[in-house]
Structures are given as C-alpha cells and as structure tokens.
Amino acid sequence: MAKHIAHKMKILQAPTDSNWVTAIVDGFYTQAKIFAEPSTFGVNNGHVSKLCVCEGTHWDHTKVIINYDRGWDVGEERPEVDSIVSQLEDYAKSGVLS
C-alpha cells in the first residue's frame, strides 16, 4: 500500500536492506538511495546519495531528467531539484531507516 509523505510525495516502495526508495515526487517518477546519516557523497552533503528522476509517473530511461550518483550527471540546474531533494531529505530524517 502506498504511503503519502508531505503533500507532493507518494511512496511506491519503501526502503529495505538496500535503502532504495521509489516514489512519485512532484509528479515525477523518482528512485533514490537514502541514508539515516548525511554523507559527503550525498546531494549537498545530505542523506540522498543517488537520485534518478524521470518525467511522468513510470520508469522510462529515455525520460531521465535528473541523475545524481555521488555527483551530478544531469539535471542539477532543473528547478524541480530543490523540492524533490528536500522531500527525500525529510523522508530520510523521518526515522523510516531506523
């Protein structure tokens, strides 16, 4: 069952042993690897160490608009980045990983 976090984030698959979360954030299909503690490898030294965002609500490798894998590959300048990362940071800090 999907769980709603904040107003614009719908969790499709909660993190398990691998710390990967799949969600619809601000209308974008999003996969992220999150950690309970911030890291120098994370976006802005935060909890999100990997992030892939596609246009639409389903995975499509041809529609990737944001990709971060311990560094920016594409999409750092997109206006959606701050909101998506902020919501994932809040989720990581919510205790879901403890």
- HSE at residue 15, side-chain half, CA atoms within 13 A, is 22
Please count the other Cβ atoms lying within 10 Å of the Cβ belonging to residue 27: 12
Distance CA 26, CA 9 (A): 6
The continuous run of DSSP H or E covering 32 comes out as strand 28-34
Tens of pLDDT along 15-61?
A: 888 899 999 999 999 999 999 999 999 999 999 999 999 999 999 99
Is the pLDDT assigned to residue 78 strictly greater than 60? yes
Q: Please give the single-letter amino acid code of residue 28.
A: F
Is the pLDDT assigned to residue 4 strictly greater than 80? no
Distance CA 58, CA 13 (A): 13
